[in-house]
Structure 1
Amino acid sequence: IAVTVPTMRVSLPFLPTLLCCSAASLLLLLRWRRRKGLWRKVKEARQRHDRGLAQMEKAALGFRKQHPSVDTVSILSLPLPELSRKLRDGSLPPEQVFYAYVGKALQVTRETNCITDYLQESETQLQQAARPGQPGLLYGVPVSIKDSINCQGYDSTIGFVSNINNPAAEDSVLVQVLKKQGAVPFVKTNVPQSLVSYDCENLIFGQTFNPLLYTRTPGGSSGGEGALIAAGGSILGFGTDLGGSLRLPAAFCGICALKPTGNRLRYLVAAVGPMAKDVESLALSMRALLCEDMFSLDSTVPPLPFKEEVYSSTQPLRIGYYETDFFTMPSPAMRRAVRETKQLLEDAGHTVGRYINPLCKDRDEGELDKSSAGLLLRLSKIPDWLKTLLSWITKPFPGGSISAPPTSSAFAPQESCHKFIAQWKKLNLDVMLCPMLGPALPVGYPGKLSVAVSYTILYNCLDFPAGVVPVTTVTTKDEEELKGYKGHFQDWWDRILAKGFRGSVGLPVAVQCVALPWQEELCLRLMREVEKLTQEKNRLL
């Protein structure tokens, strides 16, 4: 005992250190193993993705060898309404259309990295697309689906590694109705992680690029859809819109999109809506989806069929408009897009008048505060309704929170909606013409410029239907005028936005069309009128 006791007295002080070191080593080991497991899942997902693309190539090449005389170029050039008519009357076999789009989608994703999954059962679904009796409005039409919308047997990762190998047990209501209408969902498309971004990149599938200029983002969060449709790899796609996630990719990629009233179609945290190259395709998709199948599968969707008489009306419209929200200064091209579209509408016999937004201080730009103190000042100037919505959006994510001021209440969006509608009614408006952020920003810029979604997120907060239509492209004159762009606050965000707008000659710029809740048909009507007048103008140039 005399020998061992001193030894114990010497070693005991080191015991806590040894235990701490052991615990730390164990934690590091567990963390390493967890990270290794996560990267293994990423590798598996990427391998599955590559196998899907290989299957697409095999399917497209196999069909081409068996049917060398099929003119895929002419098939891909058909607008959706004409394609749909040919499919339904039997003059165009659905197999030819399907494999034409499989081949084109494969080419597009190799250039832009926009597809996450190939829905292989779509090849057999072709034989089941026709319903007994009259075929559905979308019979034989290949459609693309955003990653976050459930398709049975496939992951809806939303860019999170934890969602890998967690396939959906059943199709979402949207996909079920599409299939009942004869459509053939054939691919899922890429999104930014969490969807709360208007870029399009995640750890699993990487960055998606804008097909019009690969250094630019296609927008987000429905960025994969925007890239695929703009490049011709899909004729009709579906995404969601939480703060502009349909409209921003459409504007950046030069296509059309409609964000309906939140619950007009099946609601998935964000409003679900269509994307396509033209307005009539959006209208056709809404006709198909607003059907008894949708209303019976989801009793929360109000049974409001598509109002054809509203969409097809030729009566002059009373249109409100504004050029800036006094928060994000529009680029020269954005402002010009609104002004030129306003003039076209007036020349066509519509009444267009300036709208004063009651939710924003309508100040003379020359009187705006020039002594910006950076981020804190910019955040302090965010309208209460926007703070409330951003706080709700970012709440689920660690570290993400923008607190609304003490005067804000849980009902701020509803109060804002009442104010907005009151002004709308006072002016006796039918619809609204608004700016749309553009042109497309460089890859990575959206992460630095979350505030620039102010033009779109307003109509998520108000829950108004809103769509975008491309109307012009950036000119050298726009680029020259951009040299004088300072923004409303002349802060860091304004400087970064000005830098992001540069070097954009030739890229598309859109306008936003808005209607009151549940008036999607009226919104689409304004979009159709803007599209028609823009096309007529371009033909004369």
Structure 2
Amino acid sequence: NCVQYFIPECEEQLQEIQQQREKGLLYGIPVSIKDHIGHKGHLSTCGLVKFLGTPEQEDSVLVKVLKRQGAIPFAKTNVPQSLFNYDCSNLIFGQTLNPLNHQKTPGGSSGGEGALIAGGGSLLGIGSDVGGSIRLPSSFCGLCGLKPTAQRLSLSGINGPVDGIVSVPYALGPMARDVDSLALCMKALLCEEMFQLDPTVPPIPFNEEVYSSSAPLRIGYYDTDGYFPLPPCMRRAVHETKEALQAAGHQVKVAVVSTRRSVKEMWDHQHQIEVYRSEFITQWRELQLDVMLCPVLGPAFTIGFPGKLLSAISSTMLYNVLNFPAGVVPVSTVTEADEEELKIYRGCCDDLWDRTLKQAVEGAVGLPVAVQCVALPWQEEMCLRFMKEVETLSRAKRAA
């Protein structure tokens, strides 16, 4: 149930682009899109019955730009009901399974994208992220995914069950099996066509020089946000990645980060968010960082558990609140040693939350383990460049 339905017009579009002289950067590439990304003549249900029977009257700006760049939107993918969950199930299309382990969820809310790409059914997908909805499926399914700064890509023509959430803005972003595919997608989308169709998008084209740079990076890292302790394998992933980056010549220093201000406070008080964001950036600059390495929630949860552990998304939600670009890169897999260590996991307080997390991630040997890579606002190219470095080093380690 990762695909809600296929877009039959894609075959006609393919015939049309073959007649064009100019071939876009995504020429002929089939692209899957998340349910609520508007495509003319098709539904954007958000997993809700009330949106059935009301097809979109025109393409969203993002779909228009994808088509202009030669991409072929060919399928719409499944989401959880209302989008506000990081599982992937609704009463219309049912439960989406993780293709790597059918007892596990693919994550959400871009869970259909995660499952379809991980299962080999799509090369490139477009998801959205308001609390980790690109990064969590990428972590659970072993993919690369990027949440840009909100408004770096146009949100015009994107639907949702709730309007007016401004304290924590959502963003559209790409998901794929490798970082180069994410970079190519961003380069294609950040074009004059998008800037003309949606003047609210800052006219900042993709900076290839930053992405292609090989200069050593100044990297901060932390292995816990001090709010919700993650499973042992996720902390291991951060430390192993840190050591690989140091060995490659990058400067890595510990950064102390806390989300001890409650997420509820941040949602209730926009001013507090602005103050917190300013404090965070001040600390970042005092440490003279280029990027940040940190954990992401994972490995994949057993189906049904995301709804019991909303507070566990603090690792991703932080960068929605701050509105920083953040991406996920798989770096390892869960080992038998990780599973043994999980048996003595006590979390922060050995309370109901900690015990529930332990149950959620049990039985994950062989499933992907990822890390999160973060940059300052509007520096998607730097974030991708860091992700590429992490990907290269982790692949080299696995091949050794």
Above 0.5 in TM-score? yes
Aligned to 2:264: 387
| Cα distance between partner residues in 2 of 1:279 and 1:428 | 25
- Once the two structures are superposed, what CA deviation does each residue of 1:60-89 show, in whole Å capped at 9, x if it has no partner? xxxxxxxxxxxxxxxxxxxxxxxxxxxxxx
Q: Does 1:250 align with 2:134?
A: no
- Once the two structures are superposed, what CA deviation does each residue of 1:366-413 show, in whole Å capped at 9, x if it has no partner? xxxxxxxxxxxxxxxxx23x1145x5xxxxxxxxxxxx5xxxx33121
Q: Does 1:332 align with 2:209?
A: no
Aligned to 1:149: 37
Asked if the contact 2:259/2:318 (under 8 Å) is kept, the reply is no
| Cα distance between partner residues in 1 of 2:178 and 2:8 | 28
Q: Does 1:172 align with 2:32?
A: no
- Once the two structures are superposed, what CA deviation does each residue of 1:126-164 show, in whole Å capped at 9, x if it has no partner? 111257433000011100000010110111000110000
Structure 2, gaps ≥5 residues long: 159-168
Note the C-alpha offset of 1:489: 2.4
Secondary structure of residue in 1 paired with 2:57: coil
Q: Does 1:518 align with 2:369?
A: no
Aligned to 2:256: 356
Q: Does 1:466 align with 2:330?
A: no
Q: Does 1:505 align with 2:361?
A: no
Q: Does 1:198 align with 2:94?
A: no
| Cα distance between partner residues in 2 of 1:360 and 1:208 | 31
Q: Which among 20, 23, 27 is matched to residue 139 of structure 1?
A: 27
Q: Which amino acid aligns with 2:33?
A: I
Note the C-alpha offset of 1:503: 1.0
| Cα distance between partner residues in 1 of 2:84 and 2:244 | 35
Q: Which among 222, 226, 245 is matched to residue 345 of structure 1?
A: 245
Q: How does 1:272-287 map to 2 (within 5 A)?
A: 272-287=172-187
| Cα distance between partner residues in 2 of 1:162 and 1:241 | 23
- Once the two structures are superposed, what CA deviation does each residue of 1:269-316 show, in whole Å capped at 9, x if it has no partner? 620000000000000000100000010000000010000000000000
Q: Which amino acid aligns with 2:202?
A: P
Q: Which amino acid aligns with 1:283?
A: A
Q: How does 1:259-274 map to 2 (within 5 A)?
A: 259-267=147-155, 268=158, 270-274=170-174
Aligned to 1:298: 198
Q: How does 1:20-39 map to 2 (within 5 A)?
A: none
Q: Which amino acid aligns with 1:211?
A: P
Note the C-alpha offset of 1:471: 0.2
1:312/1:131 Cα in 2 relative to 1: closer, same or farther (>3 Å)?
farther
Secondary structure of residue in 2 paired with 1:215: coil
Aligned to 1:92: none
Secondary structure of residue in 1 paired with 2:270: coil
Asked if the contact 1:131/1:180 (under 8 Å) is kept, the reply is no
Q: Which among 213, 225, 237 is matched to residue 313 of structure 1?
A: 213
| Cα distance between partner residues in 1 of 2:212 and 2:228 | 35
Q: Which amino acid aligns with 1:205?
A: F
- Once the two structures are superposed, what CA deviation does each residue of 1:162-187 show, in whole Å capped at 9, x if it has no partner? 00011011010000000000100000
Percent identical among aligned pairs is: 60
- Once the two structures are superposed, what CA deviation does each residue of 1:451-484 show, in whole Å capped at 9, x if it has no partner? 1100000000000000000000000111111111
Decide which structure has greater strand share.
2
Q: Which amino acid aligns with 2:264?
A: K
Q: Which amino acid aligns with 1:431?
A: V
Secondary structure of residue in 1 paired with 2:341: helix
Q: Which amino acid aligns with 2:10?
A: S
| Cα distance between partner residues in 1 of 2:354 and 2:19 | 54
Q: Does 1:480 align with 2:340?
A: yes
Q: Does 1:288 align with 2:148?
A: no
- Once the two structures are superposed, what CA deviation does each residue of 1:417-439 show, in whole Å capped at 9, x if it has no partner? 10100000000000000101110
Q: Does 1:211 align with 2:111?
A: no
| Cα distance between partner residues in 1 of 2:278 and 2:82 | 31
Secondary structure of residue in 1 paired with 2:92: coil
Structure 1, gaps ≥5 residues long: 1-112, 362-382, 392-403
| Cα distance between partner residues in 2 of 1:147 and 1:263 | 19
Q: Does 1:535 align with 2:395?
A: yes
- Once the two structures are superposed, what CA deviation does each residue of 1:500-523 show, in whole Å capped at 9, x if it has no partner? 121111000100000000000000
Q: Does 1:123 align with 2:1?
A: no
Q: Which amino acid aligns with 1:344?
A: A
CA RMSD of aligned residues (A): 1.1
Moved over 4 A (4+): none
Note the C-alpha offset of 1:188: 0.1
Aligned to 2:166: none
Asked if the contact 1:153/1:169 (under 8 Å) is kept, the reply is yes
Decide which structure has greater helix share.
1
Q: Which amino acid aligns with 1:142?
A: P
> If you compute each CA radius of gyration, which structure gives the higher value, 1 or 2?
1
Q: Does 1:429 align with 2:289?
A: yes
Asked if the contact 2:114/2:137 (under 8 Å) is kept, the reply is yes
Q: Does 1:494 align with 2:354?
A: yes
Q: Which has the higher contact order (CA 8 A, sep 6+)?
A: 2
| Cα distance between partner residues in 2 of 1:132 and 1:414 | 47
| Cα distance between partner residues in 1 of 2:210 and 2:4 | 38
Asked if the contact 1:131/1:182 (under 8 Å) is kept, the reply is no
| Cα distance between partner residues in 2 of 1:479 and 1:277 | 26
Asked if the contact 1:464/1:515 (under 8 Å) is kept, the reply is yes
Aligned to 1:188: 76
**Normalised by the size of structure 1, how large is the TM-score?**
0.71
